[in-house]
């Protein structure tokens, strides 16, 4: 090849190579809702930093980041986040957005969850009725919350014949619950996106602190993993917390569903990280 | 570029690369073992390899390529080359095993025939190679089919990153997870179509008699 053409090739390739991509490990609910596809291109345009998104459950996202294979995480399980911070694997924790968890189930609602104002009583009713319930059965943020709710209600559903563990993501779990006429706990975003094709009704959809779903950002600690792209992670954190981006998060798909999928938190946590 | 096309081409590319890597090692090994007659141990190992669980292979390469792992410095985790390497390990025993079994079933007859016509061992081996085109095609099709339809290893090692490591199988998983079952089904049909076309091309061009 003529050297001049090689130079041209190099220069055209340069913008792509100029900044190595940032790896963001995140939960399926944030990614599958399309939120990241809506807000991350703006970050890449402004900073030239491409972002590679790995969408897995919260437990797996933290495991990947805990080996230094991601540069930042976006997750929703305060208790697991607290452990991640305590082990000095993550730093610069910031709460980005919230929505809520819902109990959804068959529209006929055999356990009568619809009439409950206390979520723990709703879980007790499902338990006493022995109504089918699908659990994620993984270490996702939703599963962690579900376990806390059963525990807070003083119940142990594991091993009951009506308690099914799907072992799959939220969308697949909702489909399973719909096919089986079962109850399940879901995040608002995934439910709104899949609702139209499901025979599931929102049965507990209330402003209850126990059902608050809080999404947090953490950078992976460069002191522990010297190879991580910490400056890039800091830039992403700053971008996600910027008022205009926070507003964009709050407005994402709001017109379509008539409510916010993600309500911005501006960095302030409501649920304690512990 | 249309994203579906992009994903399809990536699937083809990475599966093709993995099949080629696996064939580079698997075909010679299979031919050699088939021609000289493989022992029970070699056969058992190869056949066991045909059943290698993709998720386990994926996990192995995850640990290998993880930044905290022995080859972490290469920065290969969540890239296509890493996926191709992991997939080639899955395809290798299939290609070697099919080749070995196919060649072995002909080896004795060909050798006897060539010898009866006054040929030597080398001529017998070369004839066996020429006679084994169909076997090689079957082996390549098995390897490619296993790799392009594989979802466990490619998810763990590749991470299903959009515009980087998303392939047809992981796209099907993603759309299913999102509840977009129709889109998942379309991608699934596309995957079947791609496999069919590649198998067809392999048969048409691979089995054509050398002029």
ipTM topping 0.85 = no
Q: Report d(CA A163, CA A45) in Å as an integer.
A: 47
d(C-alpha B210, C-alpha B162), whole Å: 42
CB-nearest to A171 from B66, B72, B178 is: B178
Note whether A193 contacts B: Cβ–Cβ < 8 A: yes
Helix, strand, coil shares, percent, chain B, to 5: 80, 0, 20
Q: What is the CATH number of the domain that holds B42?
A: 1.10.3720.10
Residue B155 neighbours by CB under 8 Å, 6+ apart? B58, B170, B173
Residues of chain A with CATH 3.40.190.10: 3-99+213-267, 100-211
CB contact under 8 A, B67 and A37: no
> DSSP character for B157?
I
State the Cα–Cα distance between residues A40 and A19, nearest whole angstrom.
Answer: 15
- A54: contact with B, CB 8 A cutoff: yes
**pLDDT for the residue A171:** 85
For position B27, what pLDDT does the model report? 94
Interface check B127 vs A, CB under 8 A = no
CB pairs under 8 A between A and B: 57
B36 at A interface, C-beta within 8 A: no
Question: Which range of residues forms the domain containing residue B33?
Answer: 3-206
Flag if B179 and A68 touch (Cβ within 8 Å). Answer: no
* Phi then psi dihedrals of residue A101, to 5 deg: -90, 150
What CA–CA distance (Å, rounded) separates A257 from A48? 32
Interface test with A, best of B63, B82, B179 (most A CBs within 10 A): B179
d(CA B37, nearest CA chain A) in Å: 45
Q: What is the DSSP letter of A196?
A: G
> Is residue A252 helix, strand or coil?
coil
- B211 within some domain: no
Q: CA A172 to CA B70: how far, in whole Å?
A: 35
Asked if the Cβ–Cβ distance from A175 to B68 is below 8 Å, we say: no
Q: What are A220's two structure tokens?
A: 């992976």
Residue B71, in any domain of the structure = yes
CATH number of A100-211: 3.40.190.10
Neighboring chain B residues of A52 at a CB cutoff of 8 Å: 78, 159, 161, 164
**Would you call B47 helix, strand, or coil by DSSP?**
helix
- Give backbone dihedrals phi and psi of A163, rounded to 5 degrees, phi first: -100, 110
- What's the confidence (pLDDT) of residue A15? 43
The pLDDT assigned to A216 comes to: 97
Q: What is the model's pLDDT at position A4?
A: 55
Instruction: Name A173's Cβ contacts closer than 8 Å, sequence gap at least 6.
Output: A134, A135, A136, A166, A184, A186
Q: With CA atoms as reference, report the closest residue to B180 among A34, A102, A51, A100.
A: A34
B131: exposed, middle or buried (Cβ count in 10 Å: 0-12, 13-18, 19+): middle
The residue of chain A nearest to residue B163, with distances taken between CA atoms, is A52
- Mapping DSSP to helix (H, G, I), strand (E, B) and coil, where does residue A165 land? strand
Fold of A3-99+213-267: D-Maltodextrin-Binding Protein; domain 2 (3.40.190)
* B176 to A171: CB separation less than 8 angstroms, yes or no: yes
What pTM was estimated for this model as a whole?
Answer: 0.85
| Residue ranges of chain B whose pLDDT lies below 70 | 1, 209-211
**Residue A222 three-state SS:** coil
A93 φ/ψ angles, rounded to the nearest 5 degrees: -65, 135
**B78 touching A (Cβ < 8 Å):** yes
Strands (E), A130-269: 133-135, 163-165, 183-187, 201-204, 212-220, 263-267
Q: Tell which A residues from 118 to 137 touch B, by Cβ distance under 8 Å.
A: none
Q: Given CB atoms, is A269 within the 8 Å cutoff of chain B?
A: no
- A69 to chain B nearest CA, in Å? 6
Note the pLDDT of residue B57. Answer: 97
A199 and chain B in contact, CB less than 8 A: no
Residues 176-205 of B with CB under 8 A from A: 176-179, 181
- Mean pLDDT by runs of 10 across the 274 residues of chain A is 51 51 92 91 96 93 96 96 97 96 97 96 97 93 96 96 90 91 95 90 95 97 96 97 97 94 95 90
Q: What is the pLDDT of residue B35?
A: 86
Asked if residue B116 is part of any domain, the answer here is yes
pLDDT attached to residue B211: 43
């Amino acid at each position: 090849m003529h050297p001049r053409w090689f130079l041209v090739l190099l220069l055209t390739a340069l913008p792509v190579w100029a900044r190595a991509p940032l790896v963001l490990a995140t939960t399926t609910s944030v990614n599958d809702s399309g939120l990241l596809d809506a807000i991350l291109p703006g970050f890449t345009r402004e900073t030239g930093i491409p972002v590679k998104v790995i969408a897995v459950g919260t437990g797996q996202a933290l495991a990947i980041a805990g080996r230094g294979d991601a540069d930042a995480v976006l997750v929703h399980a305060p208790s697991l986040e607290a452990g991640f911070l305590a082990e000095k694997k993550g730093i610069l924790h910031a709460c980005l957005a919230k929505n809520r968890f819902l109990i959804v189930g068959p529209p006929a609602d055999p356990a009568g969850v619809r009439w409950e104002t206390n979520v723990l009583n709703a879980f007790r009713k499902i338990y006493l009725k022995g109504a089918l319930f699908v659990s994620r059965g993984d270490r996702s943020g939703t599963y962690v919350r579900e376990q806390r709710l059963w525990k807070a209600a003083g119940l142990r559903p594991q091993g009951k014949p009506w308690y099914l563990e799907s072992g799959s993501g939220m969308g697949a779990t909702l489909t399973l619950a719909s096919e089986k006429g079962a109850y399940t706990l879901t995040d608002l975003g995934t439910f709104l996106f899949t609702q139209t094709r499901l025979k599931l009704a929102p049965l507990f959809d209330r402003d209850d602190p126990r059902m608050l779903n809080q999404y947090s950002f953490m950078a992976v600690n460069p002191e522990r993993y010297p190879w991580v792209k910490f400056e890039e992670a800091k830039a992403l954190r700053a971008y996600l917390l910027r008022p205009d981006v926070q507003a964009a998060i709050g407005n994402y798909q709001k017109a379509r569903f008539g409510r916010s999928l993600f309500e911005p938190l501006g960095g302030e946590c409501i649920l304690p990280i512990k | 570029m249309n994203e579906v096309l992009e994903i399809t081409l990536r699937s083809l590319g990475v599966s093709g690369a993995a099949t080629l890597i696996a064939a580079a090692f698997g075909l010679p090994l299979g031919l050699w073992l088939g021609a000289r007659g493989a022992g029970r141990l070699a056969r058992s190992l190869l056949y066991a390899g045909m059943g290698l669980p993709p998720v386990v292979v994926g996990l192995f390469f995850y640990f290998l390529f993880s930044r905290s792992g022995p080859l972490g410095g290469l920065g290969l985790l969540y890239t296509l080359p890493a996926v191709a390497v992991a997939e080639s390990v899955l395809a290798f025993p299939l290609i070697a095993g099919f080749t070995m079994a196919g060649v072995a079933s002909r080896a004795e007859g060909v050798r006897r025939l060539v010898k009866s016509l006054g040929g030597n061992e080398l001529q017998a081996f070369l004839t066996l190679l020429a006679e084994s085109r169909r076997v090689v095609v079957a082996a390549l099709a098995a390897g490619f089919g296993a790799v392009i339809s594989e979802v466990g290893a490619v998810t763990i090692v590749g991470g299903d990153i959009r515009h980087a490591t998303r392939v047809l199988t992981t796209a099907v998983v993603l759309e299913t997870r999102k509840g977009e079952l129709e889109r998942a089904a379309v991608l699934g049909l596309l995957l079947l179509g791609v496999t069919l076309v590649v198998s067809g091309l392999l048969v048409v061009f691979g089995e054509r008699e050398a002029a």
